[in-house]
Chains A and B, each alone.
Chain A
Amino acid sequence: MAANPYNYSYIFKYIIIGDMGVGKSCLLHQFTEKKFMADCPHTIGVEFGTRIVEVSDQKIKLQIWDTAGQERFRAVTRSYYRGAAGALMVYDITRRSTYNHLSSWLTDARNLTNPNTVIFLIGNKSDLDAQRDVTREEAELFAEENGLIFLETSARTGENVEEAFLETARRIYQSIQDGSLELNAAESGVQHKPSPIKVGNEEGQPADRNCSC
């Protein structure tokens, strides 16, 4: 352990988007806890999850923003896209409507993030193949047409969950190596060597209190 209490070198911000009930929170739970959450309550606004992963011998903290899928939250959750380095766009392979809404989610993702944001398309619930409503082929085609990476996953069995999160991290890390992603820029969603944000001073008075907006 070094003097830095954080045992990672980078923080990547991820955002998970997609219709209600496609399994966004379950994917996150599977990824962070390696467990399937059977009765997952509806997400209010945004929830968070973190996990430290290793890419190219670099420890990276994934700071994952799991947004509410309900349409009524859409206006609020749009505020959270900013500064995401990775966007996981999820649909449910057993519900065609969730697939049909992808273009709308993709528009948001494109408009509200930066051009370097890695967008990963996830067809969740691959364990329910018998009830499949969206073929893998058409999703692959959609991904190809829109320059997305694609995988079918199962938050229940854990299939491909790890891969989806890790592959996104690899692509982001690659962008850093290429120099196309500027570290620590407000929009990049990537922080290097974190320094804890300190709010307020030792007397307990919050900073910038007098700044009125």
Chain B
Amino acid sequence: MADSDGFESADEEKQPGTPDTPSPNEAAPLASPAPETKPEPPAAPDSPDIKPDPLPTEKSPENPRADDWGWGGWSSWAASSVSNVAGMASNATKGLSGALETFEASLGLPTPEELAKEMKETELKNTDETQVKDSDPGKKEEPAKEHKEDEANTAGGLGFYPGAGLWSGLSALSTTGTQYLNAGLDKLEEVSNKAYEALNDQTGGEDRSKAKPRTRDSTKGPSLMNVLQEAKLKYEQQEKISAETKLTMSYLFDEKQGLSQLEALEMLSKECVLKMKNTPTDSNTLFLYIETSLELKSGDSEIIIEHLGAAVTDCLKTLKIDLPISKINQCRYEIAQLFSEMDMTTMDETAKPSDTKKTVMLANSLNSIAGFTARSVELFKKIAELSLLKSTLEVDMKTQADTIKFLNEVLCCELDNIRLQFEQKTETKEDVDRLYLETSNAISYLQETLYFFVPILKWIVVKTSKG
């Protein structure tokens, strides 16, 4: 676009005289109207070749402003963005002018005297050529015309008119001149490429990166401040979500390896389902008992546990499972420790409950509950593993099923006890609700083990009955 602007401005210069302004059909609608005289036939095909090139070559020495070229797009951009870049850009345009002078020289452009001579000659020729259209010069120019028409289409017709204005004194150039100019076009392209590179080098790196935000500011885009504020808000929201998710039972339970324990138990359970399918078995009354016994009933009786460790040990004894319960004992002990620590801090700081304290409080509660749940699930998984190893039914299956159900209830009740204890230290209703909800989720994980036990106990029945 800068290009067309440049050429348009040059348009004005065409006014002094436009006697021979060629108007190829393609260019006509785009170009400003009013050539005073009709174009002379031989000039018509020629001129599109010539005009774009002579225009700059003529102009640049007298008017170093590169705008007319479309270079202005670069130099003005650079100038507006960073001042020192502008300096560099003007240097570059100076260099460009120099390059153009040499370019002129290389073109071998005619001196004014020569041009005048040629004008006279062509005027004479023109009279002939209007009559004899098949003349040699016409033929020679034909290929050039086609070529140039294409260029005219792509380059935008406007550009040719200013050229026409500048060259108003000339009716046409000789064919040799045309050839020179064609070669000169390549040269010009080379020069322009070099100039482009020079500009690029000088305005590259830091300067350009500096320039960009400014451009954004000026185009009413979001300011850097807005962008940063948005990013900060987004980050804070994400942090909040992240922190909240970290305080959910599903996350904490996984952190304590609870999910893996549950997954292992599930794998054992599925394996038993598979084995049952592959072993032809008669329906067994024990199956129904197992299902009913391990089923969750609404309003399961509350169990009062005086000593958790003793209750668990008793269950294991009944099941004839030799399993250390140090892990679950340790976990329960740590929770008790936490309570006593909390009592101490509450006494110290009753006056000023802070937000941080509340968060820590909730985090502690949920962490403890998740940990205890994970160790409980682990206990059930180990009971399943050890039960599956037995080749004989050492304990009556009804007793096994009932004991497992009882142990599950014991541990679920203990979870609820822990919740109640934490609840007493919880200050807001929101946190109390949260604690209740997450403990319910924890109890769900623990009760899930019963569901996995059904096929396991059934398989044990089948396996041991087959010897």
Contacts and interface: CB of A to CB of B under 8 A. Distances in A.
Contacts of A3: 238, 241-242, 245
Contacts of B273: 213
A87 B267 CA distance: 17
Contact of B455 (A48, A82, A213): A213
B414 to A, nearest CB: 15
Interface string A185-213: 00000000000111111111111110011
B388 A75 contact: yes
Contacts of A207: 444
Nearest to A72: B389
Interface in B407-454: 437, 440-441, 443-445, 447-448, 451, 454
A181 to B, nearest CB: 20
Contacts, number: 97
B445 A200 contact: yes
B118 to A, nearest CB: 71
Contacts of A206: 296, 444, 447-448, 451
**How many of chain B's residues touch chain A, expressed as a range?**
35 or more
Interface stretch (B38-46, B247-255, B347-355): B247-255
A204 B242 CA distance: 23
B271 to A, nearest CB: 4
Interface string B265-295: 0011111010000000000000000010000
B259 A197 contact: yes
Interface stretch (B15-23, B171-179, B303-311, B378-386): B378-386
B388 A76 contact: yes
A44 B271 contact: no
A149 to B, nearest CB: 25
A44 B242 contact: no
Interface string A31-51: 000000000000011101010
Interface of B: 238-239, 241-243, 245-246, 248, 250-251, 254, 257, 259-262, 264, 267-271, 273, 291, 296, 323, 381-382, 385-386, 388-389, 437, 440-441, 443-445, 447-448, 451, 454-455
Interface of A: 1-5, 44-46, 48, 50, 63, 65, 72-73, 75-76, 79-80, 82, 196-209, 212-213
Given A3-B242, A5-B246, 20 more contacts: A1-B242, A4-B242, A5-B245, A44-B385, A46-B385, A48-B260, A73-B389, A75-B389, A79-B270, A196-B254, A199-B262, A203-B440, A206-B296, A206-B448, A206-B451, A208-B451, A209-B296, A212-B454, A213-B269, A213-B454
